[in-house]
Structure 1
């Protein structure tokens, strides 16, 4: 399955997310790192557009920054990639943990690894919203709450396609 198809299905078809729980973990990790790369490149672009050394009043510091700019950008990109990776993986893990609770309430059968895979695709909208939120006149709190509710809603919709737990006597 192509990553572009996974991306489109993550945006348009939330019920298909449940089927993706059966994908190999390697494909899911690749998709996660593509999302991470998207966020990193976007953040790095904002960083490079926002760095303006002319605002400094200290001429020595300005000259020093101009001299090490070739080193500053790769180091910044690497640090952005590392921190974005940690944050997105932590976000997926927390949503997956919450998803286990919803699975129990909905009396659906699934393991953490299945919920983790489904969550990876469910955060696609959240990732795109976080990229665009910097340009919208909406507070970060409202964006975060909306993203949280959207991801949990997508998870619940996808959980409706998980198998029902058998009734034990």
Structure 2
């Protein structure tokens, strides 16, 4: 299955997310790193656009301006690496926390599933939240409200996907 198809289905076909719980973990991790790379490149672009020596008041620092101009070529790869590592940690933590919440939701809905299945489904369910967080600075909405919207959107997508999980057998 292509990553582009996974991305499109994550955005517009939430019921297919349940079927993706059966994908190999390697494919799911690849998709996760694709999201991480998109977020990192977007963040680096914002950093590069906002990073200008002219934006800082360095009139009192004579040699500092020349020093920053001299090491600027080194600053961008280091920034990309740090952004990638931090974004990776944050997204994997976010997936793990949502999957843990999904485990409780799955029990309430009386559906069968293991944490590993829920983790895979959650990976695809956070696509909208990831895109919203990237675009948060361009929207006329406070970041806290964007976070709450992302939270509810992810949980709703998980619940819709969980409706396609198999039901628990009735105990006799």
Category of TM-score, reference length = shorter chain? over 0.9
RMSD: 0.7
Task: Tell me whether 133-142 or 89-98 shows the greater mean CA deviation.
Answer: 133-142
- State the 1:60 CA deviation: 1.6
Unaligned runs of 5+ in 1: none
Q: State the match for 1:59 in structure 2.
A: 62
Unaligned runs of 5+ in 2: none
Q: State the match for 2:11 in structure 1.
A: 11
CA distance in 1, matches of 2:38, 2:119: 20
CA distance in 2, matches of 1:59, 1:32: 45
Q: How many residues align?
A: 169
Matches within 5 A, 1:6-45: 6-45=6-45
- State the 1:52 CA deviation: 1.2
Task: Tell me whether 57-66 or 119-128 shows the greater mean CA deviation.
Answer: 57-66
Q: State the match for 1:137 in structure 2.
A: 140
- State the 1:134 CA deviation: 1.1
TM-score (norm 2): 0.97
State whether residues 56 and 62 of structure 1, in contact with CA within 8 Å, keep that contact through their aligned partners in structure 2: no
CA distance in 1, matches of 2:143, 2:135: 11
State whether residues 44 and 80 of structure 1, in contact with CA within 8 Å, keep that contact through their aligned partners in structure 2: yes
Q: Deviations over 1:60-111 (max 9, x none)?
A: 2111111111111100000000000000000000000000000000000000
Among 105, 116, 129, the alignment partner of 1:102 is: 105
Q: Deviations over 1:34-68 (max 9, x none)?
A: 00000000000000000111223223211111111
Q: Could you say what secondary structure the match of 1:166 adopts?
A: coil
TM-score (norm 1): 0.98
- State the 1:168 CA deviation: 1.4
Q: State the match for 1:147 in structure 2.
A: 150
Deviating runs (4+, > 3 A) in structure 1?
none
